[in-house]
Amino acid sequence: MSKDRLTCAITLGDPAGIGPEVVVKALGDRRIQRLANFLIIGNSFAIEKTARISKIRLKIDRIQNEEELPHKGIALLNVGAISKLVFGRGIAAYGLASLDFIKAALKLISLKKIDVLVTAPVNKHTISQAGRLFRGHTEYLAQRTKTRNFAMMLIGGPFKVVLATRHIALKKVAKALTAEKIYELLGLTVFALKKYFGIRRPRIGVCGLNPHSGEEGILGQEEIKIIRPAVVKAKKFASIEGPLPADTLFYSASQGKFDAVVAMYHDQGLIPLKTFAFHQGVNLTLGLPFVRTSPDHGTAYDIAGKNKANPGSMVEAIKLAVKIGSRIKGKK
């Protein structure tokens, strides 16, 4: 790879969503262009159509295969044969294309042709329509790389939030929690804070599941039987406090008391983060054998193709991936 710059690959996501738009707008920023060499993995027709709608001129060189990497500037590896695109329409063909983009990226990672990966949003339903079982980007990448212990860290505003459970129904959360899973999650979090962010002595706050963190068992037993034992066991890794009431814990984290918060379920962690950083949130996957980030939003079919998408989250995802990748590469 280039000794001067990292190669950052960006998968286009669902071509009918806002993925193409936020990618084009992010790479249209000269400050972003200076950070790395970029490889867009996606459909050339979607990029060209989006560039016209957004009125953004980008110098993009097409490459045919991995032998042309590393490539300086911005390159495009055309995957799939989409020649007609209707923005905002979720169909199986587009879902299948978005999955092909990810597969192409994983191949390049295995060949050590790219340094870091940023993924634009896909749609689980359209991929499922194509006959592919798909629970989510994070789960798919973990499965393909045989990664057993992995997690989502959401970053935005003053927060780094790690989720103990991800996209499951609220009524299933309590049964999904185990002391061993939370213990492993805390180990992942400590490792990431040290390796990715250079925090030598991480401070982590762990949310309770129930209101007021269970009120010592009055409002629920999960804090006593599951969360607290995991925290006690993990204290050997770092400064870890909990289980704590989520409402007060997030306030403390916003004031700088904690480097990361572990939330028990999706909305417990995402509501405060998105309140502070709705257009700048980034998803960083912990546990994978490579650096992967993504914007913290979906395909937004309702505004796709209308030049209304805010690229802020994609910009931050690119910046974070390159920053972490540079940090790791600099230590080798």
Count of beta carbons in the 10 Å neighbourhood of residue 302: 10
Token code pair at residue 40:
């867009």
pLDDT interval class at 1 (50, 70, 90): very low
Question: 286, 192 in Cβ contact below 8 A?
Answer: yes
pLDDT interval class at 3 (50, 70, 90): low
| pTM, 2 dp | 0.94
Domain locations along the chain:
1-147+289-332, 158-276
State CA 109 to chain mean position distance.
17
- Please state whether beta strands 203-207 and 260-263 pair in parallel, antiparallel, or not at all (unpaired): parallel
For residue 214, the model assigns a pLDDT of 83
Q: Is the pLDDT of residue 331 over 70?
A: no
Residues 6+ apart with CB under 8 A from 59: 73, 74
**CA dihedral sign, ordered 323, 326, 330, 332:** positive
- Which fold, 158-276? Isopropylmalate Dehydrogenase (3.40.718)
For residue 2, the model assigns a pLDDT of 44
C-alpha span between 118 and 125 (Å, rounded): 21
Domain 1-147+289-332 and domain 158-276 have a common topology: yes
State CA 49 to chain mean position distance.
26
Please, what CATH class does the domain formed by 1-147+289-332 belong to?
Answer: alpha beta
Give tens-digit pLDDT for 227-283. 999 999 999 989 999 999 999 999 999 999 999 999 999 999 999 999 999 899 999
What is the number of helices (H) and of strands (E) in the chain? 13, 12
Cis peptide bond prior to 311, omega within 30° of 0: no
Token code pair at residue 265:
């379920």
